[in-house]
Amino acid sequence: MRDRRCDGVKEQKGVTLWLTGLSGAGKTTIACILEQKLKERGLRVERLDGDVVRTHLTKDLGFSKEDRCEHIERVTYVAELLTRHGVIVLASFISPYRSMRAYSRKRISSFVEVYVHCPLEECIRRDVKGLYEKAMKGGIPCFTGINDPYEAPENPDLTVNTQEETPEESAERVLRHLECEGWVSGG
């Protein structure tokens, strides 16, 4: 006998889309646009954002290299669980060190790294919170791009350049990549 409660439920592949880039590059903006587009298709999506996660899951951590690594390890654990259960995870984290991103890629079976590229000068120009200015004046130690390094991905799955395209165009390119790779069906 068939269980009618399962009618209409379609199989969804879980994947973690890891957006990395400097503060102000556009990671969160792109993730929010993608979240809306994917939900409109009826897909299960969770957005994990650096600022939000730091207020709940990792509020005990600072910004030293060790704390940043612990932060990414915790996020990776959550993303891996969600991915394994068929959720599309939109993870927006500066994640400045290549070793951190390699760790996440190794732990999460379905992983897509998107480099949200934006030159430092443009990120500084966009900075509505004034964080770059404060860091340049010595007010924020360990600020990525100013007094702490950002190691750009050497071989990301996709690069979007937010100085040359709108957030909507970047999000559309990411969505097309997910379709071409078979993570989501065409809309």
The enclosing domain of 53 has a CATH number of: 3.40.50.300
Helices (H) and strands (E) in the chain, counts: 7, 5
- Stretches in the chain below the pLDDT threshold 70: 1-10, 187
What is the structure's pLDDT at 56?
Answer: 75
pLDDT of residue 82: 96
The span from the CA of 97 to the CA of 153, in Å, is 9
Which pLDDT does position 8 carry in this prediction? Answer: 43
Active-site residues: which are they? Answer: 95
Question: Is 24 one of the annotated binding-site residues?
Answer: yes
Q: At what angle do helices 98-107 and 65-84 cross, to 10 degrees?
A: 20
Domain span including residue 41: 14-119+150-180
14 annotated as belonging to a binding site for a ligand: no
Residue 144 in domain = no
**Residue 69, in any domain of the structure:** yes
Q: pLDDT value at position 62?
A: 73
Q: Six-digit token pair at 173?
A: 């390119």
Within 8 A by CB and 6+ apart from 37, the residues are 171, 175, 187
Look at residue 187 in the predicted model and tell me its pLDDT.
63
Has 22 been labeled as part of a binding site? yes
Residue 133 lies in a domain: no
Closest CA relative to residue 90, chosen from 144, 42, 135, 29: 29
Torsion region of 157: left, alpha or beta (phi above 0 gives left; psi -120 to 50 gives alpha)? alpha
Can you give the pLDDT at residue 10? Answer: 53
